[in-house]
A and B are shown apart, each in its own frame.
Chain A
């Protein structure tokens, strides 16, 4: 009989919701069924064996030839030791101990180390550095929030269970979420989420800052002498401002539509100030909709190690921080880095075109479980185990809650977790540079 068992309360390592109620069936050390996850979570657990890299490779001309792990480590170490301005990037889709190894290596070789928040919620962090941030917790949202606003976010698409688990689910003091909790969506277009919201406000693209500024003025009781702002009538904005002040417990969830549109960190700064102002009237909190399942963890590990959440340069032997300068895209655009160690990210798929041109001109060491666009152009590929499936580790949910990812099945033979591979690279770098 096949060896089959069921695992309950499994954490889904896909998006920042980190749902931890999944139920997996494992047969002969293979996950065969996933219950309670959304389509994205299910895909992660059921297709984990597809598109895998099963051996380290070295690029020669246009082909990738298979090499042993030891040889790959040696190549990686030599590339890093020879580089004058190496960059370590990624980290948001792996567990925290891998980050810690990456920082140790970055410090030793004097690299820049950056995580993917520099291309998603980096502006949110800059906003926080200007103003602080009254952060929500997802449990409090479910238990108490009577007004939830999604701004520039489309959770039904990117965080499919967010609405169901936290907003449309009953909580301790919101027994009937349909009746007692309002959900508003502010976005530049209609979306699947806005269609199920109680109210949807479509604003002109790029007008977020003006709209938030107007809301701040209205909340503070100023009169605003215009007919509309950002394509929304003043009456509607007054209605929103009043609803915000009237709410007992309001929560603003904001997504890339706010962080990556015109205004960027100024949008976030304004949104933070709006929520702070509202606390003089009632209780308000906010939360960024973090995408990669452990991008929050990457900011945390970076901060406790270096003081800074991303964009950290160790070239002087101590950490320095400067978004726009030590952020991966900017470094690549300026052709400033001469080697990349990429961990658990796919910059070749997601970076702007001129940064990708920069990528293509330098040696890349790529650590990832799966084939992707970056693995195609990498000089050295080292396959790794999938955190939360083939190795354990700690991660952080979008509201900062830490969760422990269990190891569920064995990784393919000879495949190690990111942290182990990084440790081996570190040891080899030390040997090579000592000689």
Chain B
């Protein structure tokens, strides 16, 4: 059997190569893109259908105990979407928090091939790796959390940046992570005292530290290690009216830090729908004074290029919020009086992650404004390369709503239809209705493929140049024949189910019909330290872990048995860090 494929007559959108809808042929051998293939190659004629690199999602909660707890809490969601087994696929449930197999299937059906789990409690990483075995079709990366860990604080309080960097390196190596997640730095820790920390310069309980010091320390440590993905920031003060000011202050607090190798972007700000709430002039931080902070953040972004963002776009309807931000989740519970779970063991030691189901109501003034924020941002920024489309799945809505989000971004008409249906605050408290911009296929390909891959530092993803992984999405539309902005329903149908999804050159979904599991990898970063530093950190962590935890340092690492079949390890040289 030939392992060569030729995709003929693709209308390709590949922003990394600057290809904007031109008709090309794509040659694939052994799962990678090549210059050309021989005459025995399998030929698939795509007849000018829309082709993009496989989708890359850099922020979606798909693994681990938070989503597990969310599933446990919400049988009423699962009942609405049973997924039967087929000859090639496993059974499960779909809806808002799908079972593991179904997560892989649904991403593949939408043409997505890489997904990042953005909130891994490092000490529970074994659980995450076990689950990974049951998430088919997608490549994955994991971001362990560091910002409320007593070990992080120990090093920061001692002004020991080498120690902090080495701790990060140790965790990434021992638990298989690819980057550093920061969640409400200091605030989640304060939740162990039943409190929150909202401002940059407030001292946190038990330690002589502030969020500013924590964020700066972690950004500096990440840059000193040279991690491909910058710090992934969920800022303080989430969900508070007017918090766009705190968010900008936090971005401002790290602006002067030099990126390694001259890179500009040193921080990634996540789910701006929750952290860019504006406030009416002369208002106070109460929901009745909420306005969109999307434009304000966009203006800041247009002037400062040290950060990237993802949207966390609200999609209306049932969702479930799950973050490592324990106090935010509790305040949400106090608003909804719905169910509330807190997982103390989830943010390293203290505080805890929270889970609260939430229904985004189109009639709610607050939700209507939140809907406008991320759209206003995405349509007001100059550089789409710094803006990734997400729903912070399942926080603002499940990832299966991405086509709906694209329809809002691509069609002004669609925005009008929705704005007329929801609470008028969406129009009154944002500039969204004045914006004429409509994203093109090229913009979509940047925001859902090229940009996230670049922000993550995944060099073989997000494009289809020679040498790239042959992860390809084909959608059943011919771009030149249709004005999608006038046909938002076609956006929904086209992006909901790919015509073909290829994963490393294998067809894994065809018109929504799935193959069994295909080839997939978990991408990890393996920083190489100076041996003296490596030695030091192993000794110190033995003491610290045995002191702060009630399980052994020696039982912390994820054993290779759970990793070896999937792990794609990238070694980076971090020996410069002085011991």
Per-residue contact bits, chain B 91-133, to A (CB 8 Å; 1 contact, 0 not):
1110001111100000000000000000000011011001101
CB of A76 to closest CB in B, whole Å: 21
- The answer on a CB contact under 8 Å between A404 and B130 is no
Task: Give the 4 A-B CB pairs with smallest separation, nearest first.
Answer: A137-B345, A132-B339, A307-B93, A283-B194
Q: Does B539 contact A (CB under 8 A)?
A: no
Distance between Cα atoms of A144 and B550 in the complex (Å): 13
The listed residue with most B CB atoms (<10 A of its CB), out of A137, A309, A321, is A137
Which of A20, A165, A276 interacts with B555 by CB under 8 Å? A20
- The answer on a CB contact under 8 Å between B72 and A392 is no
A135-B344, A300-B68 known; A172 and B150 CB under 8 Å? Answer: yes
- The answer on a CB contact under 8 Å between B550 and A166 is yes
- The answer on a CB contact under 8 Å between A400 and B551 is no
Residues of A within 8 A of B346 (CB): 400
Which of A285, A306, A404 interacts with B92 by CB under 8 Å? A306
Distance between Cα atoms of A100 and B548 in the complex (Å): 32
| Of A122-130, A179-187, A358-366, the one with at least 4 CB within 8 A of chain B | A122-130
Residues of A within 8 A of B68 (CB): 300, 303-304
Residues of A within 8 A of B561 (CB): 392
Q: Does A43 contact B (CB under 8 A)?
A: no
Task: Write the residues of chain A forming the contact surface with B, with a CB cutoff of 8 angstroms.
Answer: 8-9, 11, 20-21, 96, 100, 104, 107-108, 125, 128-140, 142-144, 165-166, 172-173, 248-249, 276, 279-283, 285, 299-301, 303-309, 314, 316-321, 392, 394, 396-397, 399-404
The listed residue with most B CB atoms (<10 A of its CB), out of A9, A104, A130, A283, is A283
- The answer on a CB contact under 8 Å between A404 and B552 is no
- The answer on a CB contact under 8 Å between A404 and B85 is no
Size of the chain B interface, CB-CB below 8 angstroms: 66
Q: Does B82 contact A (CB under 8 A)?
A: yes
- The answer on a CB contact under 8 Å between A307 and B548 is no
CB of A97 to closest CB in B, whole Å: 8
A140-B344, A166-B550, A283-B193 known; A304 and B100 CB under 8 Å? Answer: yes
CB of A163 to closest CB in B, whole Å: 13
Question: Can you list 13 pairs linking A and B with CB atoms under 8 Å apart?
Answer: A21-B552, A130-B339, A131-B340, A132-B340, A139-B349, A140-B344, A249-B192, A305-B101, A308-B78, A308-B93, A314-B91, A319-B93, A399-B345
Which of A11, A299, A399 interacts with B72 by CB under 8 Å? A299
Distance between Cα atoms of A276 and B99 in the complex (Å): 28
Which of B83, B338, B343, B550 interacts with A400 by CB under 8 Å? B343
Residues of B within 8 A of A100 (CB): 133-134
Q: Does B236 contact A (CB under 8 A)?
A: no
Residues of B within 8 A of A305 (CB): 90, 92, 99-101, 134
Which of A165, A248, A276, A303 interacts with B193 by CB under 8 Å? A248
Nearest chain A residue, comparing its CB with the CB of B67 = A304
Residues of B within 8 A of A135 (CB): 69, 341-345, 352
Distance between Cα atoms of A137 and B548 in the complex (Å): 12
Nearest chain A residue, comparing its CB with the CB of B561 = A392
Nearest chain A residue, comparing its CB with the CB of B103 = A304
Nearest chain A residue, comparing its CB with the CB of B351 = A140
Residues of B within 8 A of A282 (CB): 194
* Given A20-B555, A134-B341, A279-B194: 15 more A-B contacts, CB < 8 Å: A96-B130, A100-B133, A129-B72, A129-B74, A133-B342, A139-B349, A139-B551, A172-B548, A248-B193, A307-B75, A317-B85, A320-B82, A392-B559, A400-B127, A401-B551
A132-B340, A140-B349 known; A404 and B93 CB under 8 Å? Answer: no
